[in-house]
A and B are shown apart, each in its own frame.
Chain A
Amino acid sequence: GIQVEQSPPDLILQEGANSTLRCNFSDSVNNLQWFHQNPWGQLINLFYIPSGTKQNGRLSATTVATERYSLLYISSSQTTDSGVYFCAVPDMRFGAGTRLTVKP
């Protein structure tokens, strides 16, 4: 199956900082999604982004399918952005995630 690698594994930011999370995948995909798991364990779908760029408020995502990676950008981070960010590829297999901690 497709292998998914996310980096960095952990990220600590000061409130207001920007960050970029990366997801590499081992084969062509026609589906890629980003999720946020908040500190209470709830998993929220952020983006469905098999290719191109999408934006939703302070978050945006870009997938370059030909180069097999996707990026999640968080601008002006807030403490509520803390949690684990996952990317998932076809058949919804997840990477190990990036744990983000935003400090006030």
Chain B
Amino acid sequence: DAGVIQSPRHEVTEMGQEVTLRCKPISGHNSLFWYRQTMMRGLELLIYFNNNVPIDDSGMPEDRFSAKMPNASFSTLKIQPSEPRDSAVYFCASSQTGFYGYTFGSGTRLTVV
């Protein structure tokens, strides 16, 4: 099993540009989570999906952020337009139903200049 796969590993972009982060969950996992980690705010849950349906997006900071899960094997987190304060490490995680077997990807380090 390749685990949760995130791409890209690093992203540097200019303020105002659109950024798309990608995640492939573990096959057979039906819950998917997006997190943001910063020194100031720690690990924040942005949104999670169950069976491809968004369940809780209350952590999405503002309308510039959007997430989709078009099928069980792929999810995206998009920031448009990006701002320097969006700089962080973004993690994706997946699990079997009920949060069992929870596994994180390696993260995407985003830098907005």
A44: chain B residues at CB < 8 Å are 104
**Majority SS at the chain A contact face:** strand
Nearest A residue (CB) for B43? A94
CB of B70 within 8 A of chain A? no
Q: Which listed residue (A43, A90, A97) contacts B99, Cβ 8 A?
A: A90
B45 to A91, Cβ gap below 8 A? yes
Q: How many chain B residues touch A (Cβ–Cβ < 8 Å)? A: 19
Find out whether the CB atom of B43 lies under 8 angstroms from the CB atom of A45: no
List CB contacts (< 8 Å) of A11-45 with chain B: 31, 33, 35, 41-45
A48 and B100 alpha carbons, distance in the complex (Å): 7
Question: Which residues does B use to contact A, with CB under 8 Å?
Answer: 33, 35, 42-43, 45, 48, 56, 89, 91, 93, 98-104, 106-107
